[in-house]
Chain A
C-alpha cells in the first residue's frame, strides 16, 4: 500500500533535486532471462538535507541511481535532476552532482592524488582543489600512495573527496558505509550530516535502516523497484499507526495466577482478547495497538495483574520497513 510524497505535497511545491516518474528498467541476463529491477518508480527528493533511499537487497536502489547518472539506460519513465530532464540534459547538471555508486572505483595503480588530479583536469577544476579535498577527507599524507593499497575506509573517503572536487549541490551515495567499521560508519554519517547542514542535498541509499534514521530528514522506502512510502522520518513512522508499549508484570508471588511466567501468559490472553497484539520478549511483553498506554494498565488491573513498568516504545523505521516490505513480498509483483 504505497503512501507516497506526503512531504512534498505540503504547502506549496518545494523544489525537488530529483524527481522520477514511472521509471522502469528490465535487465536481460546472459541466459536471456529478464529481471525487472525497477518497475514504475516515482521518487521525489527535496532540495536540501539528507534523504534516505531505503530498500532491501535487490530492490533496485543501485539501478535507480545508475539511471539517474546516465550509466544505465531506462526502459521507460522520466527523470529530472534540478529541473533538467536526464539523461538528455545530464551534461548541463552533472557539474552540480557528485556520486559514488556501489564501491569506490579508481585506477588501482595510480595514487589517490593522481586519480583526483585526472578528474579535476577532466572537469577543469583548479589543481589546488585536489589538495583541499584530500585535507577535507583527512587523506592528506596518504594521497601519494597507490589507490589499491588503501583500506576500504580510505577508498570511501577518496570517493567522497572526488565528489567534492565539483563542489556539488547534490550528492548521491550508494551504500556508503558498506563494509566499514563503527568508527568509519560514524565518520561517513557525520560527513553526510555536515553536507546536509551546508544546504546541500544528499541522497543516501541503504538497507541498514538504523543508520539512515539517524541522519535522514526525509526518506523513501522502495521494494521490488516500486515506492512503498515516503516523507519525513516522523511521517513515515507515524503513518504506520502503531504505538508499542513495553510492559513488565509484578504481582505478588502468592497470586492465584501462579508464578511470573504464568502471570505473563495470563496477561497475554487478557490483552489479546481486548484486540491488542502481544509479543513476549524475556520478562517483558510488547503490546501493540493500544490507543493509550493507560488502557493496558487498566485492563490488567481489573484482573489483578499489576504493572511494574510501562514504557511507550517509539515505533522505529526498522519495523515500519519490515512491515512494508513484508506486505510487498506477500503481495508479489503485479
Chain B
C-alpha cells in the first residue's frame, strides 16, 4: 500500500492537469495579493485633496445649518412608529470629520480571516478537480483494467489513489496559505495596520490555515471518489458545479433554513471556527400587516466538523463499495 501510494503520487505529479491546476492556483493567489495591495493602498494625493475639499464644504454647511438639521431630525424621529433604531443611529448630532471622507485603513487581523477563507475555496475546488481527473481519467481511458492486472487487490488500489491525491495536495495548500499569510502581512504592514497582531491572532490564523490544508487534502480524495463513481473527469466536475449552483445556490437561497445542512456553511464553520448565517423571519404584525426581519444565527465549529466528517466517510465508503464490486470492461 505504501509502495503503491508512492507510485500513484509519482503519477499524480507527472500529470499535466495536476501541473496546470497547481500553476493556476499559484497564479490566482498572486493576483489576490496584488488586489489586496490595491485595495489597502492609501488614497493618492489627488484623491486626498478631493476628500479634503468635500470635507470642508460639509463642515461649513454644518456650521451654518447643523443645529437646524439636528432639531428637524429629532422631531421626525419622535413621530416614527416603534420598533426603531436608537436615536444616535438615526440622527447625527456631531459635525462631520475628515475620516468620513477618507478610505478606512486596512487592519491585518480583520482582513486575513476572509482572505484565508477565500483561499480555502480556491484550494478545495482545485484539489477536487485534480483528484477527479487523476482517478476519472483512468476509467475513461481504460488503463485501470491494465493496472488491475498488475495489482488485483482493489482496496489497496483504491486506498493508494485516494491517499496519493490527498498527500499530493498538502504541499500545494501549505505554500498557498503561506503566500497568503506572509504576503498579506507584508502588504498591510506597508499600507495598513498590523499593530495588535498578537500571538493569539497568529495562532488562530495558523489554525485556520491548518484546517484549510486538511480540507484541501480531503477535497482531493473526494474528487477521486467522485471521479471513480462517474468514470469521467468532466462528469465529476459537472456534477460538482451542478450541486453548487442548484443545491447550494438556488435551494440555499430560497430555503434559508436549509443552510445548516448544506456543504458551504459547514465548510465555513469548519474553516472559520463557527459561521454566522441569516434566516428570514416573517410574522404577522399587531396592526394586521406582515413584517419580516432577519435573524442572525451561528453554526458551530463542531457541527461543521461532524458534518464534513460524515460526508467524507459516506462518500469514501460508497466509492469503496462500488469499486470493489464493479466489472471493469
Residues of A that sit less than 8 Å from B by CB: 27, 62, 66, 69-73, 87, 90-91, 94, 97-99, 101, 104-110, 114, 118-119, 121-124, 159, 162, 166
Residues of A within 8 A of B16 (CB): 109
A107 close to B143 (CB less than 8 A): yes
B327 close to A71 (CB less than 8 A): yes
Residues of A within 8 A of B145 (CB): 71, 101, 105
Given contacts A66-B329, A71-B328, A121-B10, contact A107 B141 (CB under 8 A): yes
Residues of B that sit less than 8 Å from A by CB: 3-4, 6-7, 10-11, 14-16, 137-138, 141-143, 145-153, 325, 327-329
A90 close to B152 (CB less than 8 A): yes
CA distance in complex: A121, B328 (Å): 23
A94 close to B3 (CB less than 8 A): no
A114 close to B148 (CB less than 8 A): no
21 CB < 8 A contacts A-B: A69-B149, A71-B327, A73-B327, A87-B152, A94-B152, A97-B149, A99-B149, A105-B143, A105-B145, A105-B146, A106-B141, A106-B143, A106-B146, A107-B11, A109-B16, A114-B14, A118-B10, A119-B147, A121-B6, A122-B4, A122-B150
Given contacts A107-B143, A114-B14, contact A122 B3 (CB under 8 A): yes
Chain B interface secondary structure, helix, strand, loop or mixed?
helix
Which among A71, A110, A159, A162 is the interface contact of B14 at CB below 8 angstroms?
A110
B146 close to A91 (CB less than 8 A): no
CA distance in complex: A72, B325 (Å): 9
A107 to chain B, nearest CB (A): 5
Given contacts A105-B142, A114-B14, contact A94 B327 (CB under 8 A): no
B146 close to A122 (CB less than 8 A): no
A66 close to B143 (CB less than 8 A): no
Which among A62, A108, A118, A166 is the interface contact of B11 at CB below 8 angstroms?
A118
B14 close to A124 (CB less than 8 A): no
B3 close to A91 (CB less than 8 A): no
Residues of A within 8 A of B14 (CB): 110, 114
CA distance in complex: A302, B326 (Å): 69
B109 to chain A, nearest CB (A): 45
CA distance in complex: A87, B327 (Å): 13
CA distance in complex: A114, B11 (Å): 9
CA distance in complex: A69, B141 (Å): 19
Residues of B within 8 A of A101 (CB): 145-146, 149
CA distance in complex: A70, B144 (Å): 12
B152 close to A121 (CB less than 8 A): no
CA distance in complex: A159, B146 (Å): 9
